[in-house]
Amino acid sequence: MTAKSRFGFATTLAALAATVGLAAWGAWAVACPFCSAVSLTFSEEIAGSQVAVIAEMTEAPPPSDENSLDVAKAKFKVVQVLKGEQELGKKREIEAVYFGDSPVGTKFLVMGIDPPTINWSTPIAMTKRGVDYVTKTMDLPKDGPDRLVFFQEYLEDDDDMLARDAYDEFAKAPYSDVLGLADRMHHDKLIEWVQSPEIPVSRRRLYLTMLGAANRKQDIPLLEEMIKSKDRQTKGALDALVAAYLTLKGPEGMPLVEELFLKNEDAEYTDTYATIMALRFHGTEEDIIPRERLLVGLRMMLDRPKLADLVIPDLARWEDWSVVDRLVELFKTSDEESSWVRVPVINYLRACPLPEAKERMDELAKLDPESVKRANSFFPLGAAPSKDASTGEEATDEEATDKQDAARAEKPADEDSKKATSGAATQPKNAPPPAQSSAAPSRHSGELAEAKSAAVAGPLAPAAIAPGPPQQSLPVFAGLATAAVLLGCAFWAILKGGQQASGS
């Protein structure tokens, strides 16, 4: 393995470690509800380093020689220390691996760890405005609306790197921070951006969320017009669009949404799914619309058997036990096109505290014991013991866990479903951005579809079937964190090996 390929492999490991670690944290943090961060922010990268400097290139790296083990390094003069003054000491000349073509005199953000020798990251070329931007972020509050006030000024900035970083800051901020910014939002710019076909769908989701948080009733006609539009580009961010509309319109906005996307059997699947996501948002993040009114809309989906599985976990999570008979009937009348409704129905009945729920579940177990087995397999950890349809004996938590693990090994969750429910994974700054998609999960047949339908509620699904955080999930989180640490260690071991090889 050449030094360059070793460095590339090490960089890949570092990216993977960061992704694993941040994915684990993302499951616990509440961020902008419809936004997916593209990469690590500058603030996150600096926080993860021990030394961060602004350095000017004084000597470009020599032409690379693929036959040589030497890693191409450029020389830099430190002009500003952002972090780690003590760790850096008096050293003001540094060398770092650099494969770009920026000219001598260009300023870079360079970060490092492991002093006193300091292993430097790949330098990031910065404009004068970029240097000013990064410098100012060092003095910002760690969270809160006052932090977002600064980044708001760089949304859709001409410098794409700054615009992307500002968007990521908003995407990772708690929704409560966005609400706290309401009176200081640039309303006219938001109106312009949500209507612009030039703005990517991912960013329009943020701007629609901000528009709803700004809480200006005069925006209702515009949002109604966008919701009714037949143009797919206009409705590309329908989940955030419907959520913003309902934030401003309140319960009086529900009839329009229901007529267009919930009761309408001709509505496109993606539109219906986006609307359900908007209702989930209002049921968990907002209190503008009473939950019972939201449930009226969700229950309409039970009249559309092919899509009913999308809302059953929500009905259970919100403890709507009024539809036991309807769900049992859905189970009994399901056909090849709606058979995936069976597992969510069983899980709903298992969560239901009403006495008749157990009786109906036993009844359905006789009709279709295989669906009950699959429900056991995909039942969240920490669930209460239940009877095994094939033996009539109670299954313990450990047995349920074994079944779940076996099912996951045999039928891994579909990646498109994961992306649709939890957003794109966070990547390092120099990683290419993932393709943005507003499509809802595709419909599949068989057991895999049932597994997907059980998880389609995203972060709501576990509590929908087994309220309360299961203790067994803690080792999973710890395992992810451990994996991130191990991968990080592997990265630096490989990088150091490359440096030693180049120096020998």
Q: Where are the domains of the chain?
A: 1-30+475-504, 295-422+441-471
Whole-structure pTM value: 0.72
On whether the CB atoms of residues 52 and 46 are closer than 8 A, the answer is yes
Between the alpha carbon of residue 123 and those of residues 74, 120, 308, 467, the distances in Å are 10, 8, 51, 47
| pLDDT of amino acid 62 | 86
| pLDDT of amino acid 429 | 59
Is 50 exceeded by the pLDDT of residue 436?
A: no
- For residue 7, which of 92, 135, 99 has the smallest C-alpha distance? 99
Residue given tokens 């393709």 in the structure block = 435
Identify the weakest region by mean pLDDT among 111-125, 150-164, 397-411. 397-411
Identify the weakest region by mean pLDDT among 115-129, 146-160, 468-482. 468-482
Helix axes 447-455, 369-377, angle to 10 degrees: 50
User: pLDDT by residue (tens digit) across 302-358?
Assistant: 999 999 999 999 999 999 999 999 999 999 999 988 888 999 999 999 999 999 999
| pLDDT of amino acid 52 | 97
| pLDDT of amino acid 376 | 81
Identify the weakest region by mean pLDDT among 102-116, 203-217, 347-361, 377-391. 377-391
Provide mean pLDDT across the span 419-442: 44
Between the alpha carbon of residue 308 and those of residues 274, 343, 415, 474, the distances in Å are 14, 12, 22, 32
Give alpha helix (H) positions in 423-470. 447-455, 461-465
Provide mean pLDDT across the span 190-211: 95
What is the rounded (10 degree) CA torsion for 5, 11, 14, 20?
Answer: -90
How high is the mean pLDDT of the chain? 77
Is 80 exceeded by the pLDDT of residue 499?
A: no
For the chain, the first-to-last Cα distance in angstroms comes to 15
Whole-angstrom distance, CA of residue 199 vs CA of residue 163: 12
Band (pLDDT 50/70/90 cuts) for residue 480 is very low
User: pLDDT by residue (tens digit) across 74-96?
Assistant: 999 999 999 999 999 999 999 99
Is 50 exceeded by the pLDDT of residue 250?
A: yes
User: pLDDT by residue (tens digit) across 19-62?
Assistant: 333 333 333 344 678 888 889 999 999 999 999 999 999 999 98
Provide mean pLDDT across the span 206-210: 97
| pLDDT of amino acid 36 | 84
Work out the percent of the chain whose per-residue pLDDT is above 70: 68
User: pLDDT by residue (tens digit) across 268-279?
Assistant: 999 999 999 999
Token pair, residue 204, equals 């329009």
Provide mean pLDDT across the span 230-253: 95
Band (pLDDT 50/70/90 cuts) for residue 488 is low
Greater confidence (288 vs 451) lies with 288
Is 70 exceeded by the pLDDT of residue 116?
A: yes
Band (pLDDT 50/70/90 cuts) for residue 428 is low
